[in-house]
């Protein structure tokens, strides 16, 4: 006999999302208006990630015309089409409820930067990706004595 979790796991395909709390994301949501459906994008900062598996849900916050708007998205819902990460946030909290009290530029979360080797925090070198490495210059030879 199947319990509710097993039943939902069989019906709902597994979605794999690559984001964390503090990231700026675009949530693509399927909207039904009459007999038409369209995709609407809700962008904002993930302030909470709760649950695991089919019960996983995120809370995304953004400010529209000076008013804070928060929406909860159950990730196993068929209305959530995709979640795309725009920026990785550098935070030290699991819940970002303190952003509710901030105003203006104080609501910004600093961006996490990565180097090519994957280490966090170091600045990437200012070398273009298509630049070929230059060979080491050979030392100048001294003139031969006669």
DSSP for 43-98, please give it: EEEEEEEE--GGG-EEEEEEEETTEEEEEEEETTSTTEEEEEEEE-B--S-S--GG
Please answer whether residues 31 and 40 qualify as being in contact, where contact means their C-beta atoms are separated by less than 8 angstroms: yes
pLDDT of residue 105: 83
| Residue 102 in tokens | 């901030």
pTM as predicted: 0.69
- Dihedral of the alpha carbons of 80, 86, 92, 98, in degrees to the nearest 10: -70
Tell me the per-residue pLDDT of 61-71, one tens digit each, with 9 for 90 and over: 999 988 999 99
Distances (CA, A) of 121 to 23, 66, 124: 16, 32, 9
Tell me the per-residue pLDDT of 86-145, one tens digit each, with 9 for 90 and over: 999 998 989 999 998 888 888 888 888 876 666 555 444 445 555 555 666 666 666 667
Query: Can you tell me the distance from the alpha carbon of 117 to that of 10, in angstroms, rounded to the nearest whole number?
Result: 39
Distances (CA, A) of 123 to 7, 22, 71, 117: 47, 20, 34, 11
Tell me the per-residue pLDDT of 73-88, one tens digit each, with 9 for 90 and over: 999 888 999 999 999 9
| Residue 48 in tokens | 């909470």
| pLDDT-derived band at 53, boundaries 50, 70, 90 | confident
Q: Tell me: pLDDT of 14 over 80.
A: no
């Amino acid at each position: 006999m199947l319990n509710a979790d097993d039943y939902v796991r069989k019906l709902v395909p597994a979605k794999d999302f690559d984001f964390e709390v503090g990231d700026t994301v675009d949530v693509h949501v399927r909207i039904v208006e009459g007999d038409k459906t369209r995709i609407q994008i809700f962008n904002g900062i993930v302030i909470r990630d709760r649950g695991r598996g089919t019960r996983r849900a995120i809370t995304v916050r953004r400010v529209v015309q000076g008013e804070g708007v928060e929406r909860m998205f159950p990730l196993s819902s068929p209305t959530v089409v995709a979640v795309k990460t725009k920026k990785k946030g550098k935070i030290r909290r699991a819940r970002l409820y303190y952003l509710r009290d901030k105003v203006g530029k104080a609501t910004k979360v600093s961006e996490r930067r990565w180097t090519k080797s994957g280490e966090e925090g170091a600045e990437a070198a200012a070398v273009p990706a298509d630049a070929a490495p230059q060979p080491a210059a050979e030392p100048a030879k001294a003139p031969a004595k006669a």
